[in-house]
Structure formats: C-alpha cells, structure tokens
C-alpha cells in the first residue's frame, strides 16, 4: 500500500500467479509471460472488481484507487524482504519508483 504524502491510496500487488493463469485460461486470454498477464486489461479489470468488493467497508479515502500487478514476488536476494520476510518499504519504493509514479500521473 502506498499512501504516505500522496493524494490517494495505491498499491503494488503481487498476485497469485496460478490463479491469474487459471483466470486467463478460462477467459481465453493469451499471454507468453507473467509480464504480459499482469498488464492485460481483462486481468486488471477482474482484479479491480475484487479489490472493490474487499474494500466496501472502508471509508472512501482509505480505498485503493489505482494499483500495479507485479510480475515477480519480493525477495530477500533483491533486498526487498528482511530475513524474517518483512517488507523493506524504502527498498521497494526505490525498485518500483517508476511504477509508483505512473500510478499518480494525471
């Protein structure tokens, strides 16, 4: 979740890739890589629908407005996770700076 010092809440999401692949197969979505699957408009719409359903109880200002699906999980090797699997927000913000800024473009 990204919201600190921002106009609205956004998120970097690491999806369950197996579930995405099953959704793609069931809906005739062709793809050659996780990257293609994560940027597919139909997949994005399905995820937005699920996110909206999950955040119905949240106040409007608490709800995720935009998100980016990431094609690979965070890892300790990349420095994004500690050895106790806690996220290192500073490192994640640095690694995904472009993706984050893109979510806030007008």
The DSSP string of 16-42 is -HHHHHHHHHHTT---SSHHHHHH-HH
- Take residue 87 and report the two structure tokens written for it: 């996220």
What count of Cα atoms within 13 Å lies in the side-chain half-sphere of residue 61?
3
- Take residue 54 and report the two structure tokens written for it: 């999950």
Q: Provide the residue-wise pLDDT of the chain in tens; the chain has 106 residues.
A: 999 999 999 999 999 999 999 999 999 999 999 999 999 999 999 999 999 999 999 999 999 999 999 999 999 999 999 999 999 999 999 999 999 999 999 7
């Amino acid at each position: 979740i990204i919201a600190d010092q921002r106009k609205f809440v956004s998120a970097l999401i690491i999806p369950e890739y197996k579930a995405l692949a099953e959704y793609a197969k069931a809906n005739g979505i062709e793809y050659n890589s996780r990257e293609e699957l994560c940027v597919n408009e139909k997949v994005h719409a399905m995820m937005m629908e699920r996110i909206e359903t999950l955040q119905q109880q949240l106040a409007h200002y608490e709800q995720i407005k935009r998100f980016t699906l990431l094609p690979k999980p965070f890892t300790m090797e990349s420095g994004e996770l500690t050895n106790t699997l806690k996220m290192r927000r500073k490192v994640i913000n640095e690694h995904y700076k472009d993706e984050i800024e893109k979510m806030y473009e007008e």
